[in-house]
């Protein structure tokens, strides 16, 4: 019998409460049991009942990779222009890391606008920490990405016969990308409740971003005068740094990395705070 008194009042929670990262972490940690269960369910549920099952997590990105490699390397005769002898395999791997990185972002962002509506029950009928839903989506996307990453690392070993030491920096390089994705995820999840169009159009936006991010072409392939536009796309930073670290054995481009980190942190905190503040009004709309 808990004697905790819960006060339900209209007192507006100051946004500042939501901007403290430690507080956020503690708050989400409270629900780790629920998060774990929902994430597990999401990951296993994806391919439940199919014959190949979790194998699809690997097969699907591999197939896309083969197609992209074929189109860009064979049909377009694209070259990366970084190494002297560049085989198709090397091209494919370079492509792959960019794909994985971008996919994590796009998976979260594409799913977010309709996430709350899909769980309308959790909004109106029970007291549910809705912020978990975006986190769960993110975690399951991360797990998917990890599977692909394993395939990539095996590929690198096979082609280059060694893994660069800088590959260990990948988690660091991915950190801003993850915060960026989460921040946008939260923001869009909230917005998607009120403006339904976003759910329909988000796919177009991410597809646009997909082509406007240097995933299957280096930034150097972009004409000099337009390069600025591509540079300010934070995803370009993330993808480029991921490539540097895993394929070419270079350290991240530190100035750009830190710029990205700062931007992503701001976006994450803003998105999360926005979501938490608007959470109360979901029940009126859903």
Tell me which residues touch other proteins (CB under 8 A).
Answer: 1-11, 31, 33-34, 37-38, 41, 45, 121-122, 124-128, 191, 194-196, 278, 280-281, 283-285
Residue 53 vs 81, nearer CB to other proteins: 53
CA 25 – CA 45 distance, rounded (Å): 27
Residue 81 region, left (φ>0) first, then alpha (ψ -120 to 50), else beta?
left
Q: How far is the CB of 117 from other proteins (least distance, A)?
A: 11
CA 164 – CA 233 distance, rounded (Å): 27
Q: How far is the CB of 191 from other proteins (least distance, A)?
A: 8
CA 27 – CA 216 distance, rounded (Å): 39
Residue 8 vs 228, nearer CB to other proteins: 8
Chain centroid offset of residue 31 CA: 21
Residue 37 vs 251, nearer CB to other proteins: 37
Q: How far is the CB of 141 from other proteins (least distance, A)?
A: 18
Q: How far is the CB of 45 from other proteins (least distance, A)?
A: 7
Residue 244 vs 279, nearer CB to other proteins: 279
Residue 85 vs 284, nearer CB to other proteins: 284
Residue 7 vs 225, nearer CB to other proteins: 7
Secondary structure class of 129 (helix, strand, coil): coil
Structure tokens given for 156: 């690198």
Residue 83 vs 197, nearer CB to other proteins: 197
CB atoms within 10 A of CB 145: 22
Q: How far is the CB of 31 from other proteins (least distance, A)?
A: 8
Secondary structure class of 64 (helix, strand, coil): helix
CA 76 – CA 253 distance, rounded (Å): 29
Q: How far is the CB of 215 from other proteins (least distance, A)?
A: 33
Q: How far is the CB of 197 from other proteins (least distance, A)?
A: 9
Residues 6+ apart with CB under 8 A from 102: 209, 210, 213, 215, 235, 239
Look at residues 186, 189, 194 and name the one whose alpha carbon lies nearest to residue 270.
186
């Amino acid at each position: 019998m808990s004697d905790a008194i819960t006060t339900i009042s209209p007192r507006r929670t100051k946004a500042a409460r939501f901007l403290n990262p430690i507080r956020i972490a503690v708050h989400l940690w409270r629900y780790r049991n629920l998060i774990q269960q929902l994430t597990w369910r999401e990951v296993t549920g994806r391919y439940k009942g199919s014959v190949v099952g979790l194998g699809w997590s690997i097969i699907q990105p591999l197939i896309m990779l083969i197609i992209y490699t074929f189109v860009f390397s064979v049909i377009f005769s694209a070259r990366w222009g970084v190494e002297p002898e560049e085989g198709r395999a090397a091209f494919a791997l370079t492509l792959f890391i960019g794909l994985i990185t971008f996919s994590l972002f796009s998976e979260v962002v594409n799913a977010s606008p309709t996430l709350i509506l899909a769980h309308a029950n959790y909004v109106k009928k029970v007291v549910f920490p809705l912020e978990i839903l975006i986190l769960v989506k993110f975690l399951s996307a991360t797990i998917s990405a990890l599977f692909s990453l394993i395939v990539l690392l095996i590929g690198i070993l096979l082609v280059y016969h060694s893994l660069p030491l800088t590959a260990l920096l990948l988690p660091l390089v991915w950190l801003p990308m993850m915060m960026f994705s989460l921040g946008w995820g939260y923001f869009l999840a909230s917005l998607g409740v009120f403006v339904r169009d976003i759910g329909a159009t988000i796919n177009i936006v991410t597809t646009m971003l997909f082509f406007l991010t240097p995933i299957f072409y280096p930034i150097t392939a972009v004409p000099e005068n337009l390069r600025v536009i591509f540079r300010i796309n934070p995803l370009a930073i993330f993808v480029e740094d991921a490539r540097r670290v895993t394929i070419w054995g270079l350290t991240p481009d530190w100035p750009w990395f830190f710029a990205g980190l700062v931007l992503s942190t701001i976006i994450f905190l803003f998105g999360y705070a926005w979501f938490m503040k608007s959470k109360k009004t979901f029940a009126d709309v859903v």
